[in-house]
Amino acid sequence: MYTDVNALLGHWPFRKIRKNSLEDLRRVHRENGITGGYVASLNSIFYNDPFEGDEELHALIGGTEYKHVLTVNPTLPGWLRDIEDGLSRFDIRGVRIYPTYHDYDLNSEPVAELCEALERHGLPLFVTKRMEDERLDYLVKPKPLEVASLGKFLSGQPDLDIIVLNIRFNEIVSLQEVAKRLPRLYFDTCGLKDKVFVLEELLNIVPAGKILYGSQHPLYCLKSSFCIVDMVEIPEETKRGILSENVKLLSRNGQLQG
């Protein structure tokens, strides 16, 4: 019953993706014992109206084993309506933001208003630290999200479930005090490519309950990210937590299953 908290469907403007259909996602998940996950739209990152990409995504995953994560740009008008429509039409289980691609400060009023809305609706926030290595993007040059800015934002949201996606080991080390202080802060595993035995080292720095398995398929090789967790020498209980149990604490997911 493994869960992937960072899966995507759609097109990527920087290179051709050959395995980006729902059946491709389902196949690679089943091959690795993953029974579902949280899916966002790649298209929504680049559409003028992100909601159009989410309508496409719902047509693909509605009624399946996958949970819909809505893409929101809080600097655009109508984002609150999009969340309300997403809840009623798509049964969304979270909201994902891309401050580097949509060019806004995490510590700004629009983001604070978004966080307040998510708390009211019991929805977790998925914060995208990066998509790929920033040096690979050439049509759009996303401004890097500085760790200090991220840490300031996280510290100001103690009551919101937040999952930071595609963050590197050394960046988590810089945030370790924030991570220990905030019980509702999580990190996914897809960015842990800094070194060998990276997960074992990470578990000495932050509590195991804060780590969730995420692949960032199809931009990243799922098998590679899965092995980061599956092949390490850590207690089976810890491994099971990362792959399946920790994610059950996310607010809306837990409320609906409880």
CA distance 241 to 210: 9
pLDDT value, residue 258 = 31
pLDDT band at 195 (very low <50, low <70, confident <90, very high): confident
How many residues can be counted in the chain? Answer: 258
pLDDT value, residue 143 = 86
Pairing of strands 94-97, 211-212: unpaired
Position 253 pLDDT exceeds 80:
no
pLDDT value, residue 136 = 73
Percent of the chain with pLDDT over 90: 85
pLDDT value, residue 132 = 86
Element (H, E) at 195: none
pLDDT value, residue 95 = 98
pLDDT mean over 150-174: 97
The 10 Å Cβ neighbour count of residue 36 is 17
pLDDT mean over 185-210: 92
Position 61 pLDDT exceeds 90:
yes
pLDDT band at 256 (very low <50, low <70, confident <90, very high): very low
Q: Could you give the domains of the chain?
A: 2-257 (3.20.20.140)
Element (H, E) at 67: strand 66-71
| DSSP string covering 204-222 | TTS-GGGEE----BTTS-H
Element (H, E) at 50: helix 50-61
Pairing of strands 94-97, 66-71: parallel
pLDDT mean over 143-164: 96
pLDDT value, residue 254 = 53
CA distance 212 to 84: 27
49 or 195, higher pLDDT: 49
Least confident of 68-72, 130-134, 188-192: 130-134
Predicted structure pTM score: 0.95
Query: Is 194 in contact with 145 (CB distance < 8 Å)?
Result: no
Least confident of 13-17, 37-41, 61-65, 149-153: 13-17
